[in-house]
Amino acid sequence: MRLWIKDPLACLAENAERGIVVDGGKIVQLVPRGNEPDAVAGVFDASQHVVLPGLVNTHHHMYQSLTRAHPSAINKELFPWLTALFPLWSKLTPESHRLATRLALTELLMSGCTTAADHHYLFARGCENAIDIQVEEAKALGVRMMICRGSMDLSQKDGAMPPESVVQDRDTILSDCERVVSRYHQRGEGAMIQIALAPCTPFTASKELMIATAKLAEKHDCRLHTHISETRDETDYCLAHLGCRPVEYLEETGWMTSRVWLAHGIFFNDEEVAQLGKHGLAVCHCPTSNMMLASGQCRTRELEQAGAAVGLGVDGSSSNDSSNLMEGVRHAVMINRLTYDATVTHLDALRWATQGSARCLGRSDIGAIAPGKAADLALFRLDELRFSGAADPLAAVVLCGAHRADRVMIAGEWRVIDGMPRGVDVEKLRYEHSALARKMH
Ligand SMILES: [Zn+2]
């Protein structure tokens, strides 16, 4: 059915002043000023809405929503923060992982996110089917998802931080990677579920695992993801234990390819930025988490100038401590202005959260409002007190701090109506999730 999203207050697209027509899960027409669309079967009055492409989240650890604002972890930097949380995370169960995924996906969806990546690397005993659970939850909510089959094969017995009970051996990891890619990874335009392969960090995944995972991604033609250059501690660790800097490690392990997107990217030197751009890697900027853990600032400007795509991510809910991507857009403007100057605008941050993030995930069918792209849209109203007096609606959604979409469409279907996700009892979800979280604390 051809639906006209008519006369928006503002729309993040050229020549769409009178709105957008969607049909069959795609955007089929933009309606410029003074024009009418071709015949439509329905009209949605968007005169109170700012219309954005659905936001795309490129880094998260949804299970961490169970340990937000935990007293043993707050007010710490990454390494001591991890050391405090691993023992709690080892208590993850299939039930708590399921509800954590459902909760984080719902939070993201309500903030205007239509495609969500999750990096799940924690395979506590009994949680071997963690990826299968996430596929089920994404399908139930109707959210597009890039599930990163994470992995850790180094534990305390190897001198690493994770307890032995949450890591797996290399053979188990690699065979499960093969299984989930074969079973769930959809290819081509309109894919709802995709799988990426994602060893956790240079200090929790062995060199052999990094190399084997890169080969497997090549074999199955899927994306590769990991954390790199998040903290000075990580660079020091790599120099001391691996004899090289983190980016050199990527090179040594076969990761210098355009199928890779990296989380964080804070401590790259100039040569490394140029190298990453040359090889077409992408970087997920996680402003909220980086500020919360006092890690630093992604080199967004230099990376984009070098040719590397920059996307946006909320990062795990224990280092954010929320899963609100629209809030992350605002944080991105603020931290980048502090690092660079006031020429960083709301449009830059929105570009990172949409087109840039889509490039991180290797997708050309999402992240923009244009004919032929997926009908993934986030619509925000400006009728809260925080927006009153705002003159530029597109600037207002970012600068005044929009944090909840009024309507969200994914593949042409409304998934959020009047600010509420369809088919989710939010109050029940919060109650059950917090009850399971208390068992881990
Ligand atoms: Zn992370």
- For 137-160, what is each residue's pLDDT tens digit? 999 999 999 999 999 999 999 999
| 227 CA to centre of ligand 1 in angstroms | 6
DSSP letters for 367-406: SS-STTSB--EEEEE--SGGGTT-S-HHHHHHHTT----S
| 230 CA to centre of ligand 1 in angstroms | 9
| 386 CA to centre of ligand 1 in angstroms | 31
- In this predicted model, what pLDDT tens digit does every residue of 352-370 receive, in sequence order? 999 999 999 999 999 999 9
Q: How high is the pLDDT of residue 391? A: 98
| 199 CA to centre of ligand 1 in angstroms | 11
| 324 CA to centre of ligand 1 in angstroms | 15
Token reading at 65: 């929503």
- In this predicted model, what pLDDT tens digit does every residue of 410-437 receive, in sequence order? 999 999 999 999 999 999 999 999 999 9
Count of CA atoms in the C-beta half-sphere (13 A) of 297: 14
Contact 162, 155 (CB under 8 A): yes
| 45 CA to centre of ligand 1 in angstroms | 39
| 318 CA to centre of ligand 1 in angstroms | 10
Q: Is the pTM of this model over 0.85?
A: yes
Contact 411, 375 (CB under 8 A): yes
pLDDT 10s digit of each residue in the chain, 441 long? 999 999 999 999 999 999 999 999 999 999 999 999 999 999 999 999 999 999 999 999 999 999 999 999 999 999 999 999 999 999 999 999 999 999 999 999 999 999 999 999 999 999 999 999 999 999 999 999 999 999 999 999 999 999 999 999 999 999 999 999 999 999 999 999 999 999 999 999 999 999 999 999 999 999 999 999 999 999 999 999 999 999 999 999 999 999 999 999 999 999 999 999 999 999 999 999 999 999 999 999 999 999 999 999 999 999 999 999 999 999 999 999 999 999 999 999 999 999 999 999 999 999 999 999 999 999 999 999 999 999 999 999 999 999 999 999 999 999 999 999 999 999 999 999 999 999 999
Cis peptide before 376 (omega within 30 of 0): no
Q: How high is the pLDDT of residue 261? A: 98
| 289 CA to centre of ligand 1 in angstroms | 8
